[in-house]
């Protein structure tokens, strides 16, 4: 079987092999063993690099298949913060995707997102769009222009995010508040409407979008932190790393 794939992660296996987690359109996340992959290019294993579009073949059944061929078709050069952003995307997909579930839309979105990361431009809108589309594609999406009661979002109101439900309006007494009594963030209706319209030019809208997607993703990632997010923070604190 041959499919276009991206490598999400590799790890050493036994003395000379690799286990690779692949993102595919037709089978979602697939685990393969690249036998002898650490010794050379047997079966194209040397092509198993992240952020590279590959054409790959594998055989077998079960949790891990056997890679038989992998050929590079196109690479997406990422460096600095863009590399860390790419690692973040990969970790999200590893944590959220189940194996052997077709994900053609996520595959296509990932490809276009790598294209955007490899180009010049602001990273934040690229990451927020990927996160929102990923949530929607996995069935975890929520309306940005209507609240949990089906009422249109009001630009002057404030809303709290409820996992697996959506946006809940809060009382007029917190119209200008940025957090509720428990410290959970509150979101400006104006920012939510801008996000619904994919208008991410304003820095405050981007900040709200980041808080919102982080809350939405946390509900499905469990309590384990994302390693790539910590690496990204360290990179921004010390750009010489």
Q: What pLDDT digit, counting tens, does each position of 15-37 carry?
A: 778 899 999 999 999 999 987 65
Report if residue 11 sits inside a domain: yes
Stretch (H or E) spanning 30: strand 28-34
For 36, the domain range is: 2-138
Number of neighbours of residue 52 by Cβ within 10 angstroms: 18
The 3 state secondary structure assigned to 70-113 is EEEEEECCCCCHHHHHHHHHHHHHHHHCCECCCCHHHHHHHHHH
List the CATH number of the domain containing 86. Answer: 2.40.50.140
Q: Is the pLDDT of residue 231 over 80?
A: no
Report if residue 81 sits inside a domain: yes
Report if residue 198 sits inside a domain: no
First to last CA, the chain: 41
Domain count, the chain: 1
Digit-coded pLDDT (tens) for 67-120: 999 999 999 999 999 999 999 999 999 999 999 899 999 999 999 999 999 998
Digit-coded pLDDT (tens) for 48-70: 899 999 999 999 888 899 999 99
Report if residue 170 sits inside a domain: no
Which pLDDT score is estimated for 14? Answer: 79
Report if residue 61 sits inside a domain: yes
Report if residue 210 sits inside a domain: no
Report if residue 228 sits inside a domain: no
- Which of these ranges, 5-9, 144-148, 226-230, has the smallest mean pLDDT? 226-230
Please, which pLDDT band fits residue 235 given cuts at 50, 70 and 90?
Answer: low
Residues whose CB is less than 8 angstroms from the CB of residue 71 and which lie 6 or more positions away in sequence, other chains included: 44, 47, 54, 55, 56
Report if residue 68 sits inside a domain: yes
């Amino acid at each position: 079987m041959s499919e276009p794939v991206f490598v999400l992660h590799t790890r050493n296996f036994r003395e000379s092999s690799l286990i690779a987690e692949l993102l595919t359109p037709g089978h979602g996340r697939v685990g393969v063993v690249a036998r002898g992959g650490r010794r050379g290019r047997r079966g194209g294993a040397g092509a198993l690099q992240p952020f590279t579009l590959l054409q790959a073949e594998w055989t077998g059944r079960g949790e891990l298949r056997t890679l038989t061929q992998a050929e590079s078709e196109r690479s997406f050069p990422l460096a600095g913060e863009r590399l860390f952003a790419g690692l973040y995307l990969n970790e999200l997909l590893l944590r959220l995707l189940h194996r052997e579930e077709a994900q053609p839309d996520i595959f296509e979105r990932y490809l276009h997102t790598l294209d955007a990361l490899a180009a010049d431009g602001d990273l934040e809108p690229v990451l927020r769009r990927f996160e929102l589309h990923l949530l929607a594609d996995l069935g975890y999406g929520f309306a940005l222009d209507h609240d949990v009661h089906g009422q249109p979002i009001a630009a002057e109101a404030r809303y709290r995010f409820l996992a697996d439900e959506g946006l809940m309006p809060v009382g007029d007494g917190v119209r200008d508040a940025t957090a509720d009594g428990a410290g959970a963030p509150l979101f400006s209706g104006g920012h939510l409407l801008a996000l619904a319209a994919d208008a991410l030019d304003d820095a405050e809208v981007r900040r709200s979008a980041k808080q919102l997607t982080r809350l939405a993703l946390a509900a499905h990632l469990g309590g384990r932190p994302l390693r790539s997010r910590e690496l990204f923070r360290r990179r921004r604190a010390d750009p010489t790393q």
